[in-house]
């Protein structure tokens, strides 16, 4: 697993004899941006650097932990949590992160349990994406710990041999390789890392595309897709996995502003898609989703109400409120009230 990371994306033989990496490199004349490439590499590392725990974890029933509303973040520590943490997939414990002089995270703590659909909200620049990258293992905390299924992560994901959890990060921009077809984009990790024959990967790609409601797009280039379709392709790429492995680990997907820039109806489609690939949902072909838990960073009210069950509110480097989604609008916490109403008056200063 680790060795895959260093060897990056090369080489990858295509059925037409060209190599995928060569085509990516050949696209340097503008068809693929360096940021897309970086995103893909980052995402790839996250998805790949994992091993295989038992499949039946997916069937575990778990409910979101209910937290009381509170006026002060400090009082969160007095809230009793369930004693049984066996279903905790990811835990951040007192995480700090600075960029230069700028202190962004100042003691962030939370748990993501098996089966949960969690949203992270809060004012711009408060560190939500930073939290996602820390969970994903793309950034290391300056202080504090991240536990993956009870095991403390040491360093970045690229240093890990076994995490016991596949973690996928779905970026705001679909971050597809513009020079590769939809099939090659979705099957990218399998073409490169698995022993699956090409025809099997191709079949799996078609099935996975069908699961996110796409048909007959395998041979198209990303430039021939709408924005919403690109997001679906990106989602398909995140949920595809090697079905020839005996044991498949549970997967957590991290979505960074998945509905940003979409019209309300396209947002609804993506929100329902996020639900549908979750274990409690049903995909476009009527199969239960494969995602054990997911975390969504969003500013969109519709995404909060439609796609997540529990919310973490991040402000000034800490989780200052946690609660079920339906408790958000009725919260008496002045920070939450101001944010929910969009008022200029209140403790949040811009």
**Residue 126 interacts with ligand ATP (CB under 6 A)?**
yes
CA angle 302, 210, 41 (to 5 degrees): 75
List the one residue from 16, 124, 226, 332 that touches ligand ATP (CB under 6 A). 124
Work out how close the CB of 38 gets to ligand ATP at its nearest, in angstroms, rounded to a whole number: 12
Q: 177 or 315, CB closer to ligand ATP? A: 315
Determine, following the binding rule CB under 6 A, whether residue 259 of this chain makes contact with ligand ATP. Answer: no
- Based on the shown chain and the rule CB under 6 A, indicate whether residue 129 belongs to the binding site for ligand ATP: yes
Angle (nearest 5°) at CA 212 between 166 and 136 = 25
Report the nearest approach of ligand ATP to the CB of residue 302 (Å): 16
Cα separation of the two ends of the chain = 44
The one segment of 127-135, 228-236, 285-293, 335-343 that binds ligand ATP by CB under 6 A? 127-135
Interface positions, 85-114, toward ligand ATP (CB under 6 A): 99, 104
- Kindly state whether residue 195 participates in binding ligand ATP, applying the rule CB under 6 A: no
CA–CA separation, 12 and 271 (whole Å) = 33
Nearer to ligand ATP, 125 or 197 (CB): 125
Candidate ranges 40-48, 74-82, 124-132, 269-277; the one touching ligand ATP (CB under 6 A): 124-132
Nearer to ligand ATP, 243 or 338 (CB): 338
Q: Which residue has the tokens 């360093």?
A: 155
Within 278-337, the residues that bind ligand ATP by CB under 6 A are: none
Residue 77 CA, distance from chain mean position = 27
Residue (135 or 176) nearer to ligand ATP, CB:
135
Smallest gap from residue 312 Cβ to ligand ATP (A): 12
Q: What is the DSSP letter of 329?
A: T
- Strands 143-148 vs 88-99: parallel, antiparallel or unpaired: antiparallel
CB of 326 to ligand ATP, least distance (A): 23
The correct pick among 119, 127, 137, 228 for binding ligand ATP (CB under 6 A) is 127
CA distances for 209 relative to 100, 173, 193, angstroms:
42, 18, 20
In the complex with ligand ATP, the residue whose CB is nearer, 188 or 315, is 315
Taking the complex as a whole, how short is the minimal distance between the CB of residue 128 and ligand ATP, in angstroms? 4
Determine, following the binding rule CB under 6 A, whether residue 3 of this chain makes contact with ligand ATP.
no
CA 147-291-175 angle, to 5 degrees, is 90
Whole-number Å distance between alpha carbons of 168 and 342: 31
Q: Which of 128, 149, 183, 230 binds ligand ATP (CB under 6 A)?
A: 128
Beta strands in the chain (DSSP E): 88-99, 102-113, 117-121, 143-148, 151-152, 166-170, 251-256, 291-297, 310-315, 318-324
How many angstroms separate the CA atoms of 206 and 215, rounded?
Answer: 8
Spatial CB neighbours of 9, under 8 Å, sequence gap ≥ 6 = 20, 21, 24, 40, 41, 44, 192
Nearer to ligand ATP, 134 or 176 (CB): 134
Q: Is 3 helix (H, G, I), strand (E, B) or coil?
A: helix
Check residue 10 for interaction with ligand ATP (CB under 6 A).
no
Q: Which residues contact ligand ATP (rule: CB under 6 A)? A: 99, 104, 124-130
């Amino acid at each position: 697993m680790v060795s895959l990371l260093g060897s990056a994306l090369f080489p990858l033989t295509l059925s037409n004899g060209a190599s995928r990496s060569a085509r990516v490199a050949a696209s340097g004349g503008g068809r693929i941006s360096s940021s897309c490439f970086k995103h893909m590499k980052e995402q790839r590392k996250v998805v790949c650097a994992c091993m295989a725990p038992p499949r039946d974890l997916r069937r575990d029933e778990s409910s979101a932990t209910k937290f009381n509303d509170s006026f002060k973040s400090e009082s969160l520590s007095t809230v009793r949590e369930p004693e049984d943490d066996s279903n905790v997939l990811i835990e951040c414990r007192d995480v700090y992160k600075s960029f230069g002089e700028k202190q962004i995270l100042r003691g962030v703590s939370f748990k993501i349990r098996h089966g949960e659909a969690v949203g992270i909200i809060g004012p711009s620049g408060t560190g939500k994406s930073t939290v996602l990258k820390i969970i994903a293992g793309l950034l290391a905390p300056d202080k504090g710990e991240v536990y993956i299924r009870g095991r403390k992560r040491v360093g970045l994901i690229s240093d890990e041999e076994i995490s016991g959890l596949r973690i996928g990060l779905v970026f705001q921009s679909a971050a597809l390789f513009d020079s590769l077809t939809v099939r090659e984009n979705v099957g990218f990790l399998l073409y490169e890392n698995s022993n699956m024959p090409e025809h099997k990967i191709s079949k799996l790609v078609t099935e996975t595309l069908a699961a996110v409601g796409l048909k007959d797009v395998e041979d198209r280039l990303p430039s021939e897709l709408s924005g919403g379709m690109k997001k679906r392709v990106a989602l398909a790429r995140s949920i595809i996995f090697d079905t020839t492995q005996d044991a498949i680990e549970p997967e957590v997907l991290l979505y960074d502003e998945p509905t940003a820039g979409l019209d309300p109806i396209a947002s609804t489609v993506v929100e329902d898609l996020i639900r549908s690939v979750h274990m409690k949902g049903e995909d476009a072909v009527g199969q239960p989703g494969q995602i054990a838990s997911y975390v969504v960073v969003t500013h969109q009210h519709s995404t909060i109400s439609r796609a997540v069950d529990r919310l973490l509110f991040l402000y000034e480097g800490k989780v200052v409120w946690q609660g079920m989604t339906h408790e958000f609008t009725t919260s008496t916490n002045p920070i939450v009230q101001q944010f929910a109403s969009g008022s200029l008056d209140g403790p949040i200063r811009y």
